[in-house]
Amino acid sequence: MVWAFEAEGLVKRYGKTTALAGIDLRAERGAVLGVLGPNGAGKTTAVRILATLLRPDAGRAAVGGLDVVKDAAKVRRLIGLTGQYASVDEDLTGTQNLVLIGQLLDLRTSDAKARAAELLAGFGLSEAAGKQVKTYSGGMRRRLDLAASLVGRPDVIYLDEPTTGLDPAKREDVWTMVRALANDGVTVLLTTQYLEEADALADTISVIDHGKVIANGSPGELKRVVGGQTVLVRPSDPAHLDAAGAIVAAVAGRKVESPARGVLTVPVDGDAAFTEIVQRLARDRIPVTELSLRLPSLDEVFFTLTGHHTKEDAA
């Protein structure tokens, strides 16, 4: 089958630093691939190669069956890119930004203007269309940025950490847009530092670390490996830590971690474990100030997969 995009054994070095150490990524048409990894894992480098901005030192990458190096010009007609930082022009208005991109994509000026108006309306930016982008809020910029990468109706769109720096409400906005894109049959590559985000959007998740894919699968498969959810307990009285730890460990059947003083976390397989922990804590009269069930953080995913934390890598 022809993958919407496909990368095989990509290697990229900067001097002595190896950004990519042989990475494989692929997605079927209309699928959302989530690339999950900490800062410096090589996410952006991989995206830049797939977007024809960088040449790989080894390996190959193709979009719609076209090689990103040999057929770069054709590939550029198939892709849309939204970088980690807003790649729109601050001094221009929203309309001017989109019309310019339309013209660069060989649309006639009248068509470019119509397309710009259509996208601005679709992204709720019609009112701000005539204002300079520097007056936009962070969320508006992201929306314009996303609109800009859709002017050419791309088959494949790369979203490099599209929600980094956005508040939770704005993050939901971006998620809605990504889902709308996938519904329209666009293939999406999304990089993120949040398992929650990859879980919410991606059909397949590739976890990368030090320029290598260390896990690959559906969100369900990944969660089965790393423990679907994490229970966090903070006893009101630190004297109860050991007792609480014993209960949590017994129910989860896993080793308990203490990421911060007075806090216990443990991966669990389902909601039932959480309910049981709540009941047992109540029975033993252990009061808590904090008790929650959540998806594991990227750090916890990494700890499970690699045995080390992400922060050590970043340093």
Partner 1 sequence: MTALAETGSEPVLTAPARIAPRPFGLVRHSLALAKRSVLKTLRTPEQLLDVTLQPIVFVLVYVYLLGGAISGSTEEYLQFLLPAIMVQTVMFAGMATGVNLNTDIGKGVFDRFRSLPIGRSAPLIGSVAGDLIRYVVAIASLLAFGAVMGFRFHTGAVEVLAACLLTVFFAFCLSWAFVLIGMLMRSPGAVQGTAFLILFPLTFGTSMIAPKETMPGWLQSWVDVNPVAQLMDASRALMLGGQLGNDVLWVLVWSVGFLVVFAPLAVGAYRRRT
Which one of 23, 33, 62, 150 is in contact with partner 1 (CB under 8 A)?
Answer: 150
Cβ distance to partner 1 smaller for residue 31 or 100: 100
| Distance from C-alpha of 147 to C-alpha of 151, rounded to nearest angstrom | 7
Is 127 a binder of partner 1 (CB under 8 A)?
Answer: no
Cα dihedral angle (229, 235, 238, 241), rounded to 10 degrees?
-50
Residue count, binding to partner 1 (CB under 8 A): 52
Cβ distance to partner 1 smaller for residue 173 or 199: 173
Is 103 a binder of partner 1 (CB under 8 A)?
Answer: yes
| Distance from C-alpha of 163 to C-alpha of 171, rounded to nearest angstrom | 6
- Minimum CB separation of residue 85 from partner 1 in Å reads 4
Cβ distance to partner 1 smaller for residue 50 or 301: 50
Is 9 a binder of partner 1 (CB under 8 A)?
Answer: no
Is 130 a binder of partner 1 (CB under 8 A)?
Answer: no
Which one of 2, 58, 180, 272 is in contact with partner 1 (CB under 8 A)?
Answer: 180
Is 176 a binder of partner 1 (CB under 8 A)?
Answer: yes
CA dihedral sign of residues 107, 92, 180, 53? positive
Is 267 a binder of partner 1 (CB under 8 A)?
Answer: no
Is 105 a binder of partner 1 (CB under 8 A)?
Answer: yes
Is 2 a binder of partner 1 (CB under 8 A)?
Answer: no
Cβ distance to partner 1 smaller for residue 120 or 226: 120
CA dihedral sign of residues 69, 72, 76, 78? negative
Which one of 70, 153, 224, 294 is in contact with partner 1 (CB under 8 A)?
Answer: 153
Is 144 a binder of partner 1 (CB under 8 A)?
Answer: no
Give residue 65's identity as a one-letter amino acid code.
Answer: G
Is 81 a binder of partner 1 (CB under 8 A)?
Answer: yes
Is residue 314 within 8 Å of residue 40, measured between CB atoms? yes
Which one of 4, 19, 23, 107 is in contact with partner 1 (CB under 8 A)?
Answer: 107
Q: Which residues bind partner 1 (CB under 8 A)?
A: 48, 51-54, 73-74, 76-77, 79-81, 83-89, 91-92, 96, 100-101, 103-107, 118-119, 121-124, 132, 148-150, 152-154, 173, 176-177, 179-181, 183-186
